[in-house]
Amino acid sequence: MKSNIGLSDQQIKGSTKILNQVLADTFVLDVKTRKYHWNVLGTHFYELHKFFQSVYEELDELVDEIAERNRSLMAYTAGSMGEFVKTAVLQEDFSQITDGTQMLQNLLIDFESQITYLRQSINEVTDDFKDAGTADFLTGIIQKHEKTAWMIRSLLD
């Protein structure tokens, strides 16, 4: 059934393309954080192990929220590893690092990259697609990512 929410098909298509990109990148970030949670070693093992768990748990919730936002616009939501990897800008980490500092640096780069992409996307969703709901939703994601990036920076200092 087609939605009747004051947005054209083109506006919805534009917003949901961005949402699928954010979903794919969030999923890749989730998997990377889990890998780090499982493999971190060193004197700060316990602290980082717990920190990485808290991050991936928040990302798990975010993945579901993004997919549901997409579905609320009546769009198809990607849901396979192949779709996520194909769509994501963020890259998986195929290395076998166990150093917590390197893991934190990698995650900080990814979170800051996502924050930048989300800022650009909010402008596009607002200006080009007139989708205030998705713009507000993406703003909420930025706020979560900014807090996580701050925590990572604090752990690196």
Distances (CA, A) of 92 to 33, 36, 47, 61, 116: 10, 12, 23, 20, 19
Structural domain includes residue 1: no
Which domain covers residue 111, as residue numbers?
Answer: 9-156
Per-residue pLDDT, 42: 92
In a domain, 4, yes or no: no
Q: What is the model's pTM?
A: 0.94
Tens digits of per-residue pLDDT, 74-121? Answer: 888 988 899 999 999 999 999 999 999 999 999 999 999 999 999 999
Q: Decide if 130 is inside a domain.
A: yes
CATH of the domain at 37: 1.20.1260.10
**2 within some domain:** no
Single-letter amino acid code for the residue at 2 = K
Q: Considering only CA atoms, give the Rg of the chain.
A: 17
What is the predicted pLDDT for the residue at 75? 86
pLDDT for 1: 56
